[in-house]
Every structure is written in C-alpha cells, then in structure tokens.
Amino acid sequence: MSETTYTVTGMTCEHCIASVTEEISEIDGVTAVAVDLPTGGVTVTSTTPIDQADVRNAVEEAGYRLAA
Amino acid sequence: MSETTYTVTGMTCEHCIASVTEEISEIDGVTAVAVDLPTGGVTVTSTTPIDQADVRNAVEEAGYRLAA
C-alpha cells in the first residue's frame, strides 16, 4: 500500500473535488482519493506506488494543475 | 417574453454555473439562462414572467443562494 499527497491548484468547490477525485480514481491501483479543499491537498492511496505523471495527467484531465 | 436578472451567491467555478443553469432551466417557460460568474448575475429569459420563488427554489436546489 502506498500513500502520497499532492497539491492541486484551482479547485474552488465540491464539484471541483468530485472532478479531480473521479479522474484520479481511474488510475490503475488507486484505492482512495482524499481532497482537502482549503489547502488543495490531494492524498492518493494505491496498492502500489503510482507514477506522478499519471496523477498529473488525471488532474489536468479534470481541468486543474498539479502544483509541484 | 420576459427577462429578469437575479444575484446568486456562492458560485465559484464553471461547475457551479452548470448546476444553477440546469436547475433554473427546468422551470416551466424558461428559454435561456445566462450567468456572469464574477458578479453572480443570473439573467433568466422566459416566455412569461416567472415567480421569483421558483427561481429561489431552483437556485437552492443547486446548492446556492439568491441574494435578494
């Protein structure tokens, strides 16, 4: 099991959280996604470590940006 | 044809606009809904004047508030 927290910019409401969560959840191996709206923190739990590029693609697919 | 502009608070992104537009569009007689995100202005065009209570209900159904 692996857990990594990313920072996503541009999320402003519950709909934004839903979009980001949905896209990241589609990555193979992801078992949970938790978003903290005020900080933009997105914690991704997965069965094995996942590629940050995949997370970045998912976040951008949802219309947002990975901060780092 | 009737056109009235309301002010809706709490909308922060395109998803919010979509939710409010969808709910107001379901009111009988409404032919167009135009939202200006920075001001919260929502202009509702309808075949006949519609009850403000119906607009308020639609806005609250979407999860937002009518300012006046």
Average pLDDT of chain A? 95
Domain of B44: which CATH number? 3.30.70.100
Full residue range of the structural domain in which residue B23 is found? 2-66
Query: Which residues in chain B have their CB less than 8 angstroms from residue A19's CB?
Result: 15
Q: What is the ipTM, given to two decimal places?
A: 0.70
Average pLDDT over residues B28-48: 96
- pLDDT for residue B39 is more than 80: yes
The DSSP 8-state label assigned to residue A37 in this structure reads T
Q: Residue B68: pLDDT above 70?
A: no
Residue A66 near residue A8, CB atoms below 8 Å: yes
- List, for residues A54-65, the tens digit of each pLDDT value: 999 999 999 999
CA-nearest residue of chain A to B13? Answer: A12
pLDDT lower than 70: segments of chain A: 68
Task: Name A2's bridge partners.
Answer: A46
Q: Which residues of B touch A15 (CB under 8 A)?
A: 13, 15-16, 19
Q: Which residue of B has its CA nearest to A17?
A: B15
The neighbour count for residue B44, using CB atoms within 10 Å, is: 25
Give chain B's domain count: 1
